[in-house]
Amino acid sequence: MAMLSNPELAKKAIPKEYRNIALGLFPHDGYPKGKGPTINQILSFGKILGLGADNKRLLSTLKSSSELDKLLQSFQNNLDLLIQKTWVEKSEEIRKENLLDRLPAFISRIEQEKYSEALEEFGTILEELSWLFFGVQSQKDDFTEYTFRIDNEIGLFWWYGNQLCNTQTKEWIKRTDKEILKAMLLLGICYLTNF
CA distance 117 to 100: 18
- 45 neighbors 57 (Cβ within 8 angstroms): no
Inside any domain, residue 72: yes
Inside any domain, residue 2: no
What residue numbers bound the domain in which 111 lies?
Answer: 7-193
Inside any domain, residue 93: yes
Stretch 155-172: mean pLDDT, rounded? 83
Inside any domain, residue 101: yes
DSSP for 58-96?
Answer: HHHHHH-HHHHHHHHHHHHHHHHHHHHHS---GGGHHHH
Inside any domain, residue 176: yes
Inside any domain, residue 132: yes
CA distance 177 to 171: 13
Inside any domain, residue 139: yes
Q: Indicate the pLDDT class of residue 157, thresholds 50, 70 and 90.
A: very high
Please report the beta strands in 9-142, taking only residues with DSSP state E, as ranges in sequence order.
none
Stretch 75-88: mean pLDDT, rounded? 90
The number of angstroms, rounded, from the C-alpha of 115 to the middle of its chain's C-alpha atoms is: 13
Neighbours of 112 (CB within 10 A): 10
Query: pLDDT for 104-134, tens place per residue?
Result: 999 999 999 999 999 989 989 999 999 999 9
SS3 51: coil
For the chain, the domain total comes to 1
Q: Indicate the pLDDT class of residue 191, thresholds 50, 70 and 90.
A: very high
Angle at 16 between CA 58 and CA 48, to 5 degrees: 15
Q: Which residues of 3-16 are buried (b: 16+ CB within 10 A; e: fewer)?
A: bbeebeebeebbee
CA distance 155 to 13: 8
Inside any domain, residue 23: yes
Sign of CA dihedral 36, 177, 162, 148: negative
Mean pLDDT of the chain: 85
Residue-level pLDDT at 1? 44
